[in-house]
Chain A
Amino acid sequence: MFDKEKLASIQSAKEGWDNGTVAKALGKYKERREEFTTSSKIPVERLYTPLNTADLDYEQDLGFPGQYPFTRGVQPTMYRGRFWTMRQYAGFATAEESNKRYKYLLEQGQTGLSVAFDLPTQIGYDSDDEIAHGEIGKVGVAIDSLADMETLFSGIPLDKVSTSMTINAPASVLLAMYIAVGEKQGVSADVLRGTIQNDILKEYSARGTYIYPPAPSMRLITNIFEFCSKNVPKWNTISISGYHIREAGSTAVQEVAFTLADGIAYVKAAIDAGLNVDDFAGRLSFFFNSHNNLLEEVAKFRAARKLWAKIMKERFGATKPRSWMLRFHTQTGGSTLTAQQPDNNIVRVAMQTLAAVLGGTQSLHTNSKDEALALPTEDSVRIALRTQQIVAYESGVCDTIDPLAGSYYVEALTKKIEDEAMAYIEKIDALGGADKAIEQGFIQKEIADSSYNYQKEVESGHEVIVGMNKFYIEEKPVEGLLRVDPAVGEAQVKKLKAMKENRDNVAVKNKLDALKEAAKTDANLMPYILDAVRVYGTEGEICNILREVFGEYRPVEIL
């Protein structure tokens, strides 16, 4: 952005500054550290100047919002048009209680729903399964059948909200239930808006709620892509997630690299299944984490956007601009919250919110201050939502697009993250792609190494966590935490039993048999699942049928 002559003059001035002013100051006072680095171990220089961005080509590297390569944002007007979707992940206990929480959040000005499911639901077990004992309704809502789903969205018109569902291995079943609820409400599938997470690769590498082995799992995913492109065109069919990769302990660079590598694997799988890239690519969405290192995070989002655009255009030959866009949801970093002095978490979340917004997110979940202790209370959820609203309405950062662009540091960091992530992606390509790299334990090992290194740095005090390993105080235990009543489990089991007695069990058996036969062929399974769901076949029944045909995944444990 500067001509050669100007750069040379800056260079010599900088040398003068280094050797004169700085050297003198260093003679008197040492800096706090020998070396400064970001969380990804990218060295941070004392000062960034035009010299650091000498190679930056504005039109190629940054461009304009809403235009390739989208470094500056995917929409032409960004938050001048409308703010991001404020979407709080919520769901606990029973469908009735979650339904109440959703209505409350919508009244409070939230603009989209985000459903958290309990673990048995996420792993495809009904509440009456032995293995579900003690887990029902604990980390999210328990959904066994269409009956629960009807309750969950009772009084919420599905043509008026967009709903995001954190569901992966059994994503097709839950999506089918959502479609069926729409049918009952008289809302046709082609107007339904929302997202299913549906990202199985990160389950293997970071989150752990898988069911089937990779091949049949990838098939279920491409089945959904195909079905939705014809029947539910406004649905985001996958949310390719770096969030959990980061939570598992990766660095920011690894978060970008492993997420995009997963994305590449899905695109490849869909193309191999015979789909046209431009038919599904526009419905791919992403999900990232937002941590405390503000400027590194902003650079991370910008780098990810640019990399994906290049990958889609150059590698996969997508031609529609929408196929090139990396649209993403963000959640603030759960692992950055401390159980100690939980009020401090409000500040962390505010900073992370700012990072996500300066990074150009499309939607955001802010964590509640007490999430390191238990499920959030209504009060703490409200503060978290208010944090987003304060940044939106009061900070002024939304009034112009990508305001940090042109910062020597942010641009240099964006480039660095892009390069390092690309180097990882090439390595993963050499291993045969993300699915193969996971099978060989490569990604898991990289994440575990980073997480262990970080832990050691925290324990040595090199990394400071305020209130935890520095500025620690003795505290009384926090009171008023939300608890899930153990009776919830029993009630849910009872409800399920009653439902099973009242439904048409012959119809259920027929539909499940049909699903089983179809699973053995290479038919698209969505219609069969939808049929089974409509007659109140349960999630567990459907998943068990598929377990019989597909088998179950055993993890690669790399330590």
Chain B
Amino acid sequence: MAEKLIRVLVAKPGLDGHDRGAKVVARALRDAGMEVIYTGLRQTPEQIAAAAVQEDVNVVCLSLLSGAHNHLFPKVVQLLKEKDAGDILVVGGGVIPDADIPYLKENGIAEIFTPGTPTSKAIEFITSHVQ
């Protein structure tokens, strides 16, 4: 029997076009043996949640640099819950001030990776938190 692969949706909610971080993460996760579904720029929380459900991913990685994280990240979590997919792990990254992290965690974001976090940390987190 083939072993179960970890599937991750890497998404950029909001309007900012800086996808350097998202692309690096996508490649690093691929190189760590995961299947990465990349959705591209300017995805609404609704689109992200719908894609996560259809793709049956284990993890959703959100990357955002515009500062709209407090609005957009929790929205994704909430929509996943509404779709009976609250078990999908949601993590976020980008320019996110420390002060916002507690709020985001309270609202269901499992972990926040701020600038300078090595991708190995994200990989470690994902592997240890999926099942």
A residues contacting B by CB (< 8 A) are 119-120, 122-123, 131-135, 138-139, 203, 207-210, 247-249, 335, 338-340, 372-375, 448, 451-452, 455, 458-459, 465, 468-469, 477-478, 481, 484, 555, 557, 559
Contact = CB atoms under 8 A, between A and B. Distances in A.
A134 B40 contact: no
Given A339-B116, A374-B67, A452-B27, A131 B15 contact: yes
17 contacts: A120-B15, A122-B15, A123-B42, A131-B15, A131-B42, A135-B15, A208-B18, A335-B20, A374-B97, A375-B67, A448-B23, A451-B20, A452-B24, A452-B28, A455-B28, A559-B23, A559-B30
A478 B100 CA distance: 12
Contacts of B14: 119, 134-135
Interface residues of B, number: 34
A247 B95 contact: no
Contacts of B15: 119-120, 122-123, 131-132, 135, 209
10 pairs of A and B residues whose beta carbons are closest in the complex? A208-B17, A134-B71, A477-B98, A119-B15, A134-B68, A138-B67, A339-B115, A459-B118, A468-B116, A209-B17
A119 B27 CA distance: 27
Contact of B18 (A120, A135, A247): A247
Candidate in B20, B24, B41 with the most chain A CB atoms within 10 angstroms: B20
B127 interface: no
Contacts of B114: 339
A110 B42 CA distance: 35
Interface in B16-72: 16-20, 23-24, 26-28, 30, 38, 40-42, 44, 66-68, 70-72
Contact of B17 (A132, A203, A375, A478): A203
Interface string B102-127: 00000000000011101110000000
B24 A455 contact: yes
Nearest to A250: B20
Contacts of A123: 15, 42
Contacts of B17: 203, 207-210
A247 to B, nearest CB: 7
Contact of A559 (B16, B38, B72, B97): B38
Candidate in B15, B40, B114, B118 with the most chain A CB atoms within 10 angstroms: B15
Contacts of A208: 16-19, 41-42
Contacts of A468: 116
Contacts of B27: 448, 452, 559
A458 B98 CA distance: 23
Nearest to B118: A459
Given A338-B116, A374-B95, A451 B66 contact: no
A419 B67 CA distance: 40
A139 B66 contact: yes
A247 B17 CA distance: 12
Given A248-B19, A452-B28, 4 more contacts: A119-B15, A208-B42, A477-B99, A555-B41
B116 A340 contact: yes
A455 B119 contact: yes
A76 B68 CA distance: 47
A557 B38 contact: yes
